[in-house]
Amino acid sequence: MSAPVPTPHPDRPVPERHVPERTCAACRRKRPQSDFLRLTRTPQGWQLLAGRRQGRGAYLCADSPACWQEKKLRRAFGAQAARLAGELAERRAQAGGPGAQPDRRDTLYSETMTP
């Protein structure tokens, strides 16, 4: 005689995927992390470092130039606000409009492989 196979709990609700929320350092709005630019605190000060997730971070709305103004940044970044405001404005100029080119890092890698 074999005992009945224990069944999983079909009624158990599937947990929703947790979307980490962050708060904008300028306007204090809460949004999903993907909507933000991340600033990383380094020994040299706050830096816009894409892709790096180490150290302390701060977030600014990626689509809201109003959040990149020096006077808004000053509350969170103090004396570095002016420099960061400049970097953010530059970044926006480089990002361009709808015609902006995506990053071509893949091409660079394959060129390196060529003998």
Contact residues for Zn ion, defined by CB under 5 A: 24, 26-27, 61, 64, 67
Tell me the closest approach of the beta carbon of residue 6 to Zn ion, in angstroms: 50
User: Judged by CB, which is closer to Zn ion: 61, or 73?
Assistant: 61
Task: For the sheet with 57-61, list strands across it.
Answer: 45-48, 36-42, 57-61
CB-closest chain residue to Zn ion: 24
User: Judged by CB, which is closer to Zn ion: 17, or 39?
Assistant: 39
Q: Which residue has the tokens 């926006």?
A: 92
User: Judged by CB, which is closer to Zn ion: 14, or 66?
Assistant: 66
User: Judged by CB, which is closer to Zn ion: 36, or 80?
Assistant: 36
Spacing of C-alpha 40 from chain mean position: 10
Tell me the closest approach of the beta carbon of residue 48 to Zn ion, in angstroms: 15
* Closest alpha carbon to 29 in 54, 57, 66: 66
Whole-number Å distance between alpha carbons of 57 and 40: 5
Whole-number Å distance between alpha carbons of 57 and 22: 10
Tell me the closest approach of the beta carbon of residue 98 to Zn ion, in angstroms: 23
Tell me the closest approach of the beta carbon of residue 87 to Zn ion, in angstroms: 16
